[in-house]
A = this chain, B = another copy of it.
Amino acid sequence: MTDARFPSAKLTLADPARDSDALDFAHFADTMATLAGTVCIVTAGRGANRVGRTITSLISLSATPPSLLVSITKNSDLDHTMRAEGGFSVAMLATGQFGVSDAFAGQRPPERRFEIGTWDTWPSGRPKLADAATAIDCRIAGMIELDTHCLFGGVLINAEATGAAPLLWRERGYHHL
């Protein structure tokens, strides 16, 4: 069983006294839609308790420790499972895996998402998507709770890259390099 203890912090970004300077929602959404990102599935749990979500909010974080950062919706099932388990796994999707992306982005209810794609298991017990461009297993090294999202810093404990070309997301649609 994974030791779920890790350092955490909490920070509130919203400030009603100052936020009148911010873009309106449509302008914000249109602006961020121009950012191209690799389509990833973040997963945690095992067996019938597996949960997962499509995200593009993943960045490399540091070489010491060798870590990446993911942003996950606060108080989602995925957030809760990741915290309880002290870890998560990631699949950077290959170009042909848009169906997996759609399923985990909400086209399928949470309990039926793992019917799409071929799912193996990491030594940790967490889900591992076969034929992904890159599959990674992480132990959570720390967490920051913000207003609507939680940032998880994960130390990479296992990783495999297949050499497949990646699936990208930009302007509300899929793209290839």
Contact = CB atoms under 8 A, between A and B. Distances in A.
Interface in A54-112: 56-69, 71, 92
Contact of A177 (B32, B56, B168): B168
A7 B14 contact: no
A69 B66 contact: no
A110 to B, nearest CB: 22
B147 A28 contact: no
A65 B34 contact: no
Interface of A: 7-15, 18-19, 21-25, 27-32, 34-38, 56-69, 71, 92, 133-134, 136, 139, 141-142, 144, 146-149, 151, 153, 155-159, 161, 166, 168, 170, 175-177
Given A66-B23, A71-B59, A71-B61, A34 B142 contact: no
B11 A9 contact: yes
B156 A28 contact: yes
B23 A157 contact: yes
Contacts of A67: 13
Number of copies: 2
A103 to B, nearest CB: 21
B57 A59 contact: yes
B146 A153 contact: yes
A146 B62 contact: yes
A146 B61 CA distance: 9
A35 B8 contact: no
